A and B are shown apart, each in its own frame.
Chain A
Amino acid sequence: MKELVEYLVKSLVDEPDEVVINEITSAKSLILELKVAPDDVGKVIGKQGRIINAIRTILNAATTKSQRRVVLEILD
């Protein structure tokens, strides 16, 4: 799932090299911590969180079969 988020986020930002994603796996959940360049934060979140929520929706659809819940967070 990291690759999926990575592809989406890198396609949206101006500085793809600054994109860092940390995976934290536990029994019940997979947490993806996303870090992007300060100027790119808005491009990932979108107005009223529209972009990040769309990414979360895609992520949830991709993991419906999995036992782990996926959480995507933006670090700043």
Chain B
Amino acid sequence: MKRVLEQEGTTPEEAIEKALERLGVSKDKAKIEILDEGSKGLFGLVGTKKAKVKVSIEDQGEELAQEVTQRILDLMGIETKVETKEVGEKVVLDIKGDKSGILIGKRGQTLNSLQYLVNLIINREKEEGPRSRVMLDVEDYRGRRQQTLTDLAHRLADRVIKSGRGVTLEPMSPHERHIIHLALQDYGQVATRSVGEGKYRKIVIAPQREESRR
């Protein structure tokens, strides 16, 4: 998201300062263009001309996301502090505070809804360029969930190998299905695939033999 501002001032420096203040950013994050140097005129009396500058900033997706998330949490009446972490190429907003249980919700439902809305809002005005995607996390819920799902996947895979019969998991989000697929990709004796549509899409873990017979 790009924001552009034109600002006048007695000197270019003053105009830049004013513009940065209005945009709420520091100088190193903005692109500054001096449109008019301005003129002090004669003895500062005759022929004064104001300086004019153009300041534009490329709104950082993550900063906006942090701001939006914090705002929503404040309005929810939940006292928290949102911190931005970069994990690899992903931006993770870590929510710190009490009432984490309420924020996570049943099977992460609340956290996922919040994440969905934050992503919608930060990408709303974006028409070009890549969309920003942020992940929201509370007290390492994502990490713990990943561990739980990985353990579950391994346990079920062992059962499938022993019994020779496939199992179907409950519906999961794309991210959670991805975790299961990854957990079992090196299990030669079982194969995973997703069935169903939309939010009912779920994973089937099947013995490899059965898979190859088809």
Contacts and interface: CB of A to CB of B under 8 A. Distances in A.
B76 A4 contact: yes
Contacts of A8: 72, 117, 121
B124 A4 contact: no
A55 B117 contact: yes
Interface string B69-110: 001100111100000000000000000000000110100011
B113 A58 contact: yes
A8 B116 CA distance: 12
A54 B75 contact: no
Interface in B54-78: 68, 71-72, 75-78
A50 B173 CA distance: 13
Overall SS of chain B's interface:
helix
B198 A61 contact: no
A54 B76 contact: no
A76 B72 CA distance: 26
B120 interface: yes
Contacts of B114: 54, 58
A50 B112 CA distance: 12
B75 A4 contact: yes
Contacts of A58: 72, 76, 110, 113-114, 117
B76 A50 contact: no
A37 B77 CA distance: 28
A48 B198 contact: yes
Interface in A45-64: 48, 50-51, 53-55, 57-58, 60-62, 64
Given A51-B117, A53-B113, A61-B102, 16 more contacts: A4-B72, A11-B124, A12-B117, A12-B120, A12-B121, A12-B124, A51-B120, A54-B114, A55-B113, A55-B117, A58-B72, A58-B113, A58-B114, A61-B110, A62-B78, A64-B102
5 contacts: A4-B75, A12-B120, A58-B72, A58-B76, A61-B105
Interface of B: 68, 71-72, 75-78, 102-103, 105, 109-110, 113-114, 116-117, 120-121, 124, 198
Interface of A: 3-4, 7-8, 11-12, 48, 50-51, 53-55, 57-58, 60-62, 64
